[in-house]
Structures are given as structure tokens and as C-alpha cells.
Amino acid sequence: MSTTPDTPSMDRHEGRIRAFAVRRPVLAFCVFAVGLSVSLIIALLIADVSVIPGKAAQVVIVPGTALLITAWLSGRAGVKRLLASLLRWRIGIARWLLVLLALPVLTLAIAAGTGTLEAAPEGWLNIATTYLLTLLVLLITANLLEEMAWTGFVQTKLMARHGLLRGALLTAVPVFLIHLPLSFETNGLYRTRWEDALLNWALLLAALPAFRYLAGVLMLETNGSVLAVGVLHASFNASGGMDVTPDGWQYVPAVVLLTVLVAAYRALRGRPIDQAVTATQVGAGVAPVPEQPAEQR
């Protein structure tokens, strides 16, 4: 069979995409993963149909793009390192207690302090059991793979270049963008009040920088355990869905308060808020971009 005339052109096009991804891996990830995910969700919202298929596709697109660019950057070894970060569970009892319990406890404390904590009609054991089951489901179905991409791929690279704080803040930008259209998920694009959408966006803007900073700290202190960050992400989402806090906002100040407490603790230990970061400090998630020949610099 003869080669079609279009094949060389297609090869060149794929080669340019790969070269762009290798040269600017974070930007390429944002263009492809965020752009495609947001476009798909917006198309479903405009069509006034459920966005569930778009969210399901996003769970594939986001980590899949991270794995693809990692393979282009550092081959199978890089992919294995990134996947291994999902199984790094030896982080110490204190950190497990932090990622599992800190956010629900602070969420309940804030609800109690603001007078918005409701009674548990089926008992607190049921609330605790539901929280843990919700956390487990969210971790397995979405949050672990999401954090493989956002923390294990994007944030580790940005922290290695810009430091802990600035890397966290920069990561929060595309995460915010990919969540924007989901504010219309419940009632649809045409039936959601703009006041409600703006409130959701404001809560996102408050929570994301704090959460991304916590994610960066965990990566530093656990030798790059994406598993720990994934559990914290699932804990954050599960804390926002507890029946005794039906207003659903208390988990946002909870994550901000936890970030303040963690930053204060680190300051007491002599660790700067915007700590410089090396690739080895966040595990093997950061794969170096190959050096260009001297004549190409």
C-alpha cells in the first residue's frame, strides 16, 4: 500500500505539537487539557443537557494529557515515576491524620462557631461513616487522578521554577479556569442566577490558592506523595457535603484556616513561606527538559 500524500503533513503537525509540549509542558497542558475540558462542558451547557459526560471525559483528558506530555518529556521512566507517586503512602501517622481529619473537624468547628451547625438526626457515627465513604469514592473516581495531573505534573514543575508559594498560586489559575463552567452544573446555563455563579466563583477564588499551597507543602514533606494530596482533595470535597452543614460554605474558610495554621507551623520551624524547591524535594514528579545544544540557545 502506498503512503498517502497527507501522511508527511500529519507527521510534521504532530511533530510541532510534541516539540511545543516538550518546550513548554505546563502551557501545553493548559492549552490542551483545560481548553478541551472547558470547551466540552460549555458545549453541553449551551445544549442544555447534563454535563456529566463532560465531567467523565475530563477525568480522562486531564490525567491523560499529563501522562502523554510526561512520556514525551522523559519516556517510560518519567511515566513510571509519575504513576508511582499515586502509591506513595508512607507519610507518617501525623500527616495521615492531617489529610483525613483536619478539614472535616475545622469545617464542623466553623459551622458551630457561626451557628450554622445542624443536628445529626441519624447520629454522628452515621455522619463520620458517610464522610469516609464519600471521601473514598471521590478519591478513586476523580481526585487521585486529578491530582496526579495538577500536583504531580503541573504544580511540581511550577514550584521547581518559581518556589512553593508562587508555584501554588500559578497552579490555582488553570484549576480555577477549568472549574468556572461547573458553577452552572446544577441548574443549567439558562436557569442559574448570575449572583449564584459569582458566589461560587468567589468561594473558588478563596479556596484554591489555600488548597494549592497545602498541596505544595505535602509534596515537599512527603517526598512527592500525590496520594496524600489526593486524599486531602477528597477530604475537602467530602467536608463540603456533610449533612450537618447544608449551607455548604463552611469548608472554604476551613481550608483557608488550615493553610494559615500550616504556614504558621512551618514559620515556627524556620521554613520560609515561599520556599525554594528542587525537583528532588517533590519526589520524582519533575522531569527535567532535555538540554538544548549550545548552538540552539
Q: Per-residue pLDDT tens for 269-278?
A: 999 888 888 8
What average pLDDT score do residues 267-293 get? 69
pLDDT computed for residue 280 by the predictor: 76
Q: Where are the domains of the chain?
A: 9-286
| Better pLDDT: 120 or 14 | 120
Give the gyration radius of the chain's Cα atoms. 21
Average pLDDT rounded to a whole number, residues 81-95: 96
- Is 249 a residue whose pLDDT tops 50? yes
| Residue closest to 237 by CA, chosen among 213, 211, 259 | 211
**Could you tell me the three cell numbers for 135?**
471521601
pLDDT of 289 reads 42
| Element containing residue 88 per DSSP (H, E) | none
User: What's the pLDDT score for residue 64?
Assistant: 98
The pLDDT value recorded for residue 283 is: 63
Q: Are 160 and 282 in contact (CB under 8 A)?
A: yes
Rounded CA gap, 253 and 4, in Å?
59
> Please, which pLDDT band fits residue 65 given cuts at 50, 70 and 90?
very high
Q: How much is the mean pLDDT over the chain?
A: 91
pLDDT over threshold 60, residue 293? no
Per-residue CA distances from 247 to 134, 159, 241, 243 (Å): 18, 35, 9, 9
Q: What was the pLDDT predicted at 292?
A: 42
Predicted pLDDT of residue 6:
56
pLDDT tens for each residue of 140-194: 999 999 999 999 999 999 999 999 999 999 999 999 999 999 999 999 999 999 9
pLDDT at residue 4 tops 70: no
Place of cell 497542558: 29
